[in-house]
Amino acid sequence: MAIQFTNSTFDHIDIATSHRDEILLELIDTATTTATRQLEALAIRLAEALAQEARIEPDPAAAQRYAASAGLLKKSRFPFCFAASDRIGKAFRAEIAALGVAAAHVEQLPSHSLAPDLEVDKKLSLLKEGHAIEALHAERFTALNARLGHLLGRDALSAAESPFRAQVVLDAIHEAWCDFEASKAAHHLVYPLLQSENCADFGAIYQALNTILVKRAVLPNLVVPRAEAAKPAPETNDDPVTSRLRTMFSQDSAPGPVKDRPLGGALPTLFHDDQVQVTAARNELLAHIAAIQRSGAGPIGTPSAEEGATLLSHILSTMPAEARSRENLHTIDLLIRVFDAVFRDAGMPPEMKALIGSLQVPVLKATLKDKEFFFSDDHPARRVIDLLGRLAVGWDRKAGANDPLYQTILRSVKRIQSDQRVGSFADALADLEAWVGREESAEMQALASSVVSIVRQEKTRVALKQAKYEVALRVGTGEVAAFVETFLEEKWVTVLTLAYSVKDEKPQAAGNAVKTMDDLCWSVKPKITMEERKELIARLPAIVENLNKWLDAIRWNEPERVKFFDDLAKCHASIVRAPMELSPERQLKLALSVAQKAAERRLARQAGRPPEPQPDEFDRQVKELGRGAWLQFTGKAGMKVKVRLAWVSPLQSHFIFSTAERVEAISISDDDLAKSLRQGRAAVLSLPGFVGRALAEALHADGDASFNDPAAKAA
């Protein structure tokens, strides 16, 4: 990251050793104090993470170790906090001493070694997580290293040289855990859990250190461009809903250049506090959720179908002031709309609404950590809710709780509830999609014969459509004789349909049939010059031969065939016998007459052609249908049947619906399906993208001003 200075050159200023050591000691004390204030909350989060690992660990012995460690940390977190504070302070002193500065006495503490493979994994894990934390607070961390370098009379420190890098704290917490936990078998349990959501807020630490240095006049006018400002804005093709969501969340932490304010008596605000405040508010909200779950206060059980999104509403109404950031309020408000849409879904059984509704807290935690839930259809948590919403509609209450579909959904919900991390959604999604894949594979085997037949029919329909189009191009000019027009529309369409149907096996067939049609049309046009008539006479045998070959192929042997060739021969004879040596004026009049008659015929055909129907909302509904969607059809006797879209033809012109037992129920074309929807004989119960449609509905219903003051809405 580029660092800018107000001076044209960087001149190191000699700082007295005693003054420098005094500043370094103050930095150590400030960093230690700022980190220590967060240790109790950190211990609570680690205890919960250990408990979650115990719930999902398949090995009973390992699960017992996780559970025992979680219980120990919950009961005795203050001794752990004391050990961690001591380790962190001494680690900072050791790092300062490693820079060649004798700022304070360094007391060496014994370190704990794990098994060789675990030791390597620990070092790599903490190094990687440390880099991720530093990247999250890159502006403050970079500014701190520049100021430390200036204080020490050298260039800006690299991330690896910084005594306050995140890995120092992570290592200290791991060592403190080993001091605290007497059982060596549990020493390796904590370091994999030291991720940003479970660790200290380094933004606050780096801000406090920069504040001390600016107060001490160490590069007080340092300008640090924000990381976002250094990158060009990515090009997006967002739809209106996504664009509005991006605007909404970008306003929660608006980007902009960050500049230290000059000293003016009071402590300067080194950076915009938005990211620090957002992170702190997020941690406060997570702690609030954990407190509710521990105490059992509020409706934290499985909600009934009538209750709606009461879990999220309770969290919103009881959250402390420190957690009420715009980002948190927007997140909860939008999720309330999503889950309210689940509970309002008329096609979903109440039992399924309750199961999906029980995921309110896990989804909230996932979105607090990753806002891509609102922007990306591929977010694991969003895909789980979308898939559960689609599958839930298809569950038949008569099948009961022992139904395989019910058991699959229940198993996935319990898995997410027991391990409320984003990764648990990915695991549950994999299980759900595997089950769906097995069901669809078995279903396709049952429908195989119908699919083959429909694909063949669709291929013929496509060929017919192309054939009619090619004929219409020639007939539409009005230049073709009337009897030839009739022949092309009634018989040559069949020829072209056959040719296009075998295009894959005989690629030249369609081209030959089209050329034969063009030759026929050319042959019945007036031939004014002797050269044109000679060409007609020379080409006629081949034209007639090709016509007969194709008519034999479609087996047209009726008397009308004889009459057509008789009319064709008379037409050719009249063309050849027409008066010769016409004057230029006569040729022009004849050409104009032919063109006028052609135009009149073309206009007459257009006037008699019915207008093309315009697609309506029901046609659009049909186009949006995807495999797995559920529809309800109503029979003539009023009997309703719920069916699932099992197969869509390659060109989306035909649909096969099956029952929950994989029995083919309805096979219908796109036009007939749109007609059934239009007449109310069919209704769509579920469509893909449940979450996206709920968000679009929420934003559209509330208008632009709805989310401008989330605090007022939550009050």
Mean pLDDT of the 114-127 span: 90
Write down the pLDDT at residue 341. Answer: 86
**Distance of alpha carbon 297 from alpha carbon 264, whole angstroms:** 48
Question: Cα-flanking dihedrals φ and ψ of residue 683, to 5°?
Answer: -145, 140
Write down the pLDDT at residue 690. Answer: 80
Mean pLDDT of the 462-474 span: 87
- Confirm if 352 and 409 have CB atoms less than 8 A apart: yes
**Tens-digit pLDDT profile for residues 7-65:** 433 444 456 667 888 888 889 999 999 999 889 888 988 988 898 888 888 788 888 99
Average pLDDT, the chain: 81
Taken in order 422, 368, 139, 190, the sign of the CA dihedral is negative
User: In DSSP terms, which residues pair with 656 in a beta bridge?
Assistant: 647, 667
Write down the pLDDT at residue 263. Answer: 36
Where are any strands of DSSP class E within 567-617? none
**Tens-digit pLDDT profile for residues 521-550:** 999 888 877 888 899 999 999 999 999 999
- In this structure, the strands spanning 654-658 and 664-669 are antiparallel
Provide the CB-side half-sphere exposure for 455 (13 A, CA): 9
- Confirm if 30 and 209 have CB atoms less than 8 A apart: yes
The token pair at 530 is 């002797």
User: In DSSP terms, which residues pair with 667 in a beta bridge?
Assistant: 656
Stretch among 57-61, 66-70, 195-199, 332-336 having the lowest mean pLDDT: 195-199
**Tens-digit pLDDT profile for residues 402-437:** 988 999 999 999 988 886 566 788 888 888 988 888
More confident residue, 280 or 84: 84
DSSP state of 640: E
Mean pLDDT of the 672-687 span: 88
Structural domains of the chain, with CATH: 17-232 (no CATH), 280-446+704-714 (no CATH), 455-608 (no CATH), 617-685 (2.30.30.140)
Angle separating helix axes 360-369 and 380-393, nearest 10 degrees:
150
**Distance of alpha carbon 480 from alpha carbon 485, whole angstroms:** 6
Provide the CB-side half-sphere exposure for 282 (13 A, CA): 25
Stretch among 37-46, 310-319, 453-462, 693-702 having the lowest mean pLDDT: 693-702
Q: How far is CA 280 from the centre of its chain?
A: 27
CA distances from 635 to 142, 373, 639 (A): 70, 40, 5
Mean pLDDT of the 81-103 span: 85
Residue 191's pLDDT band (boundaries 50, 70, 90)? very high
Residue 627's pLDDT band (boundaries 50, 70, 90)? confident
More confident residue, 258 or 684: 684
CA-based nearest residue to 657, from 624, 627, 699, 620: 627
Mean pLDDT of the 113-130 span: 90
CA-based nearest residue to 424, from 476, 363, 376: 363
Contacts of 27 (CB under 8 A, 6+ apart): 164, 209, 212, 213
Please report, to the nearest 10 degrees, the dihedral formed by the alpha carbons of residues 508, 514, 519, 525 taken in order. -170
Where are any strands of DSSP class E within 389-522? none
- In this structure, the strands spanning 223-224 and 682-684 are unpaired
CA-based nearest residue to 353, from 413, 312, 294, 293: 413
- Confirm if 710 and 406 have CB atoms less than 8 A apart: no
Residue 251's pLDDT band (boundaries 50, 70, 90)? low
Residue 114 predicted with pLDDT over 80? yes
Q: Is 271 strand, coil or helix?
A: coil
Contacts of 238 (CB under 8 A, 6+ apart): 246
Mean pLDDT of the 248-265 span: 47
**Distance of alpha carbon 479 from alpha carbon 473, whole angstroms:** 11
DSSP state of 267: P
> Exposed/middle/buried for 109, CB within 10 Å: 0-12, 13-18, 19+?
middle
CA distances from 145 to 19, 26, 209, 215, 674 (A): 19, 16, 10, 16, 66
Residue 188's pLDDT band (boundaries 50, 70, 90)? very high
Residue 448's pLDDT band (boundaries 50, 70, 90)? confident
Contacts of 334 (CB under 8 A, 6+ apart): 374, 695, 698
The token pair at 610 is 């019915």
Residue 121 predicted with pLDDT over 70? yes
3-state helix, strand, coil in the chain (%, to 5): 65, 5, 30
How does DSSP assign 641-707, residue by residue? EEEEEEEE-TTS-EEEEE-TTS-EEEEEEHHHHHHHHHTTSEEE---S-HHHHHHHHHHHHH-TTTT
CA-based nearest residue to 143, from 289, 297, 2: 2
Question: Cα-flanking dihedrals φ and ψ of residue 153, to 5°?
Answer: 75, 35
